[in-house]
Structure 1
Amino acid sequence: MSGMDGKAVVVTGAGRGLGAAFAGHLARAGAAVVVNDVDGDQARSVAAAIRDGGDCAVASDHSVADPEQAEAIVELCVREFGGIDGLVNNAGLTYEAMPWEDDAARAKALVEVNVLGVVYTGLAAIRRMRAACRGSIVNISSGASLGQRTIGVYAASKGAVASLTYSWALDLEDSGIRVNAVCPKAYTRMVWESERASRHTFPENTADLVAPLVHFLLDERSAGITGQMVRCTGQELHIVGQPAFKAPILRRESWDLDSVDQAFTEVFQAHLEAYGLEKQLPPRLRKWLVPALTA
C-alpha cells in the first residue's frame, strides 16, 4: 500500500510539464489531487485524464501570485477532499535576458509567481497543516540558484525558494510539517521555448523521471527528512549542499582597507571559489584561482 492512499495534495502549475507529471503520478499512487494552473483549460484537461484513469482529481485555475486566490486553492482541496496533506509548489515562469536588456515589469511578474506564489500558497497550506499537526511541502527550486547565465532573475527566484525551504523547515520542525525542495532537470515546454533550445536535442518524458522523488518526499517513507534540497536529473539523484561559512575565518579587532586587502592577498586568494552552475573560471578570477589549484 502506498503512503499516499487517502492523502489530499495540491500541485500548482500542473497544467503541463513537471506539474502534470507530478499530479498524474501522485493520483496513481492513491492521492486525491488538486490540479492547479492559471491555464484553466490545461488544468481541467489534466484533471479529466486523471479521473478517466480511475483516480481522483479536481481542477483549479486560480493564480498563486494573488494571496486570496492562493488561499482559494487550498480551500478547494479542503472542501473537496476534507483536508490538505501535501503541497507541491511547482508553478513558475522563466525567460532569458542579459541584465542590461532586462525589463522591470517582466522581472516583477516572474518574482510574483516564483517567489510570492510559493509564499502565498505555502502559508495557506501551513495554517491548515499546523492545525492537523501533519503535512509535507515540496518546493520546486533549481540548480540555477547557484548562478546561471542569461536567467539571473529566475536564478534569484529559485535561490529565494531554497532559502524559504530551509527557514520553513526550521520553523515547522516541531509542528509535524516537513519542508523540502527539489531541483529537477527536465525538458519541458519551459526549456523548449527558451532561446538555448534551438541548440540542443532533448529527450522525451523526463518530467516523469522526477515524479518519484516528489512522491517520496510527500510519502510517509520520508518521515524525518526535512530542510533538504535534492537534485534529480532523471539518472542522477543527489543532495545539494547548503551554503555555509567557509574556513578560514580571520579575526581582528577591526578591519580597514589595508587589512582587508592583506587578507585577500595573503589568505583568501587560495580559497576563492568558481561561481555559477557551470563552475567555469572567468578570466578575472584566474589570477587568484590558478596559482592555488596548481600549487
Structure 2
Amino acid sequence: MGVLDGKAVVITGAGRGLGRAYARHAAEAGAAVVVNDIDADVVTEVAREIRDNGGRASASPGSVVDPGYARELVDRCVTEYGAVDGLVNNAGLRHQAPLWAEDPDQARALIEVNVLGTLNCGIAAAGHMVAQGSGSIVNAGSLALVGQSTAATYSASKGAIASMTFAWAGDLAEHGVRANAVCPVAWTRLAVADTKPTGNPDDLPEHMAPLVTYLLSDLAAGVTGQLLRFRRGTLYVLGQTAVKHPILDRDHWDVHDIADAFATDLAAALEPRAPHRGLI
C-alpha cells in the first residue's frame, strides 16, 4: 500500500528537475498524476516513464499563466481520475540581475509564472477541493523570500507565494483542505541560475520528493499553513513574520524621538544590513 493510493494529483512544471522528481515519487506512492509543463516533449516523456514503471499518469502541456488553461488542467484530473486530491504548484522561473540592470519584460514573465501561475492553479483546484471536502495544495517557496541581492524579482515572487500559502490555509481550513509551501535545495536549472547557489550537484531533486509526497498524503492531515525548508539531512519550519520587541509606547512622537529610539531601544531589533547573498 502506498501513502497516496487512490489519490489523484496535478503537478506543474513537472518536465524536469524537482517537478519530475515529485511526479515520479507521487506515482510510486500510488497516486494518479497529471503532469504539466510548458515543454510538450519532456512532459510527455515523464508521463510515459511513470506508465512504463506501472504507474498512472497523463501529460498536459501548457502554460499555467493562462487561467483558462489552469482550469482545464485541473478539470482534466477530475475527468480522468475522478477527483483532484492534490496540487503541487512547482512551475517557476528564476533569473539574476541587480535592480538597475533588471529587464522589465523578463521580470514580468517571472512574476506571471511564479505568482499568477500559482494563483491560477490554486483557484482552479480550490473549487473542486472545497466541494469534495478534502485536498492538499503544495506551493514552491524559497528562502529567497527574505530578500536575496541580485534576485529581487524572484525574491518578491516567493514572498508572494508564502503570503498566499498562509492565506489559503486560513480560507480552506474549515473545508478540510490544506495548503503548505516547501523551500527545497536541489541542483536544478533554477539553482544553477543563481550566482551563488546554496546547493551542489549532490543535492538531487529526488531527495526532496518525500516531503512533497508526505504533504499530499493523509499522514500530514494536521499540517497546514506551514513554510518548510528541506535539503539533504535537514528539515525545519520557517517562522512567519512577527513583531520584534521591544514595543515602544508614547503619547507623542516627533522626528528626534524616533531617531533616538532607533539609536537606543530599537537598535538591537534591526535586521542585518548585509544583503542575503548566500541562503542556508
The bucket for the TM-score relative to the shorter chain is over 0.9
Alignment counterpart, residue 272 of structure 1, candidates 249, 270, 273? 270
Q: Please, which moves more after superposition, 76-85 or 247-256?
A: 247-256
**Deviation of residue 247 (structure 1)?**
1.2
CA contact (8 A) 2:9 2:84 kept: yes
Where 1:203 maps in the other structure, the secondary structure is coil
**Deviation of residue 279 (structure 1)?**
7.9
Give the corresponding residue for 2:229. 231
Identity %: 49
**Deviation of residue 18 (structure 1)?**
0.2
Offset from partner CA, 1:5-29 (integer Å, 9 cap, x none): 0100000000000000000000000
CA contact (8 A) 1:38 1:62 kept: yes
CA distance in 2, matches of 1:270, 1:224: 36
Give the corresponding residue for 1:259. 257
1:127 aligns with 2:127: yes
CA distance in 2, matches of 1:246, 1:164: 23
Give the corresponding residue for 2:214. 216
CA contact (8 A) 2:185 2:203 kept: no
CA contact (8 A) 2:88 2:138 kept: yes
The residue correspondences of 1:44-193 to structure 2 (distance < 5 A) are 44-193=44-193
After TM superposition, the score normalised by the length of structure 1 is 0.90
1:8 aligns with 2:25: no
CA distance in 2, matches of 1:194, 1:221: 34
Is the alpha carbon distance of 1:81 and 1:196 closer, same or farther for their aligned partners in structure 2, counting shifts above 3 Å? same
CA distance in 1, matches of 2:194, 2:236: 26
After TM superposition, the score normalised by the length of structure 2 is 0.95
**Deviation of residue 194 (structure 1)?**
4.5
Offset from partner CA, 1:80-138 (integer Å, 9 cap, x none): 11110000000000001010000111111100000011100000000000000000000
Where 1:173 maps in the other structure, the secondary structure is helix
AA aligned opposite 1:170 = G
Extract unaligned runs of 5+ from structure 2: none
CA distance in 1, matches of 2:253, 2:41: 60
CA distance in 2, matches of 1:44, 1:75: 18
Is the alpha carbon distance of 1:153 and 1:51 closer, same or farther for their aligned partners in structure 2, counting shifts above 3 Å? same
Offset from partner CA, 1:216-243 (integer Å, 9 cap, x none): 1111011111000110012211111111
**Deviation of residue 204 (structure 1)?**
4.1
CA distance in 1, matches of 2:278, 2:17: 28
**Deviation of residue 193 (structure 1)?**
4.3
CA distance in 1, matches of 2:171, 2:265: 37
Where 1:5 maps in the other structure, the secondary structure is coil
Give the corresponding residue for 2:37. 37
Compute the RMSD of aligned alpha carbons. 1.7
Is the alpha carbon distance of 1:201 and 1:94 closer, same or farther for their aligned partners in structure 2, counting shifts above 3 Å? closer
Larger RCO, structure (CA 8 Å, separation 6 or more): 2
**Deviation of residue 244 (structure 1)?**
0.4
CA contact (8 A) 1:84 1:129 kept: yes
1:250 aligns with 2:248: yes
Where 1:33 maps in the other structure, the secondary structure is strand
CA contact (8 A) 2:184 2:229 kept: yes
**Deviation of residue 38 (structure 1)?**
0.5
CA distance in 1, matches of 2:2, 2:226: 22
CA distance in 2, matches of 1:110, 1:128: 27
User: After the TM superposition, which segments of 4 or more aligned residues of structure 1 sit over 6 Å from their partners?
Assistant: none
CA distance in 1, matches of 2:77, 2:199: 38
Alignment counterpart, residue 240 of structure 1, candidates 238, 241, 244? 238
CA distance in 2, matches of 1:210, 1:266: 44
CA distance in 2, matches of 1:212, 1:114: 22
Q: Aligned pairs, how many? A: 278
AA aligned opposite 2:20 = A
CA contact (8 A) 1:138 1:181 kept: yes
Extract unaligned runs of 5+ from structure 1: 281-295
CA contact (8 A) 1:50 1:57 kept: yes
CA distance in 2, matches of 1:130, 1:122: 12
Is the alpha carbon distance of 1:205 and 1:261 closer, same or farther for their aligned partners in structure 2, counting shifts above 3 Å? closer
CA distance in 1, matches of 2:15, 2:183: 19
